[in-house]
Amino acid sequence: MKGAKILSVHSVPNNRPWRPRERGEGRLGCVIWLLLAAAIIYVGWVVVPVKLAASRFEDVMREEAAFGSNRGNPQIIQELLKAAQEQEIPITKEQIEIVRTRESITISVQYQKTLSFLGLYEYVWKFNPVVERPLSFG
């Protein structure tokens, strides 16, 4: 076929090279991704320390339960209050429940922590860790 125009895969009819996007079109998408990444980092910045403190406090609860046969309830409560203060966990002795049987000790605590996100949104995170250990005498 004489005079037929052949189009290559990388060109458009006006002989300009094909480009997936015009210059500047990707800026909005980049800004959106940056804002999303910043929001995720901020939420992590607020949430992770609270979760770590709760985990450390639960470790102290396990330790106190492990030595439950050697310590009385007032001493366990005192140690838990001290650990809570160190971890900035808002509890009172009324929120700590210790139940003993012949075979085991159960320690439970109920508390909540309010997380504020830029002062625009508040989330109340409720915690109820429960630890049960067998009592070992001897």
| Spatial distance between the Cα atoms of 55 and 57, rounded to a whole number of angstroms | 5
pTM confidence score: 0.74
Q: What is the DSSP letter of 7?
A: P
Over residues 65-114, the pLDDT tens digits come to 999 888 999 999 999 999 999 999 999 999 999 999 999 999 999 999 99
C-alpha 113: how far from its chain's center? Answer: 12
pLDDT confidence of residue 43? 92
Above 60 in pLDDT, residue 129?
Answer: yes
pLDDT confidence of residue 22? 55
| Spatial distance between the Cα atoms of 107 and 101, rounded to a whole number of angstroms | 12
Burial pattern 73-107, b for ≥16 Cβ within 10 A else e, equals: eeebbebbbebbeebebebeeebbebeeeeeebeb
Over residues 3-61, the pLDDT tens digits come to 666 555 555 556 666 555 555 557 888 889 999 999 999 999 999 999 999 999 999 99
Query: What's the half-sphere exposure (Cβ side, CA atoms, 13 Å) at 30?
Result: 4
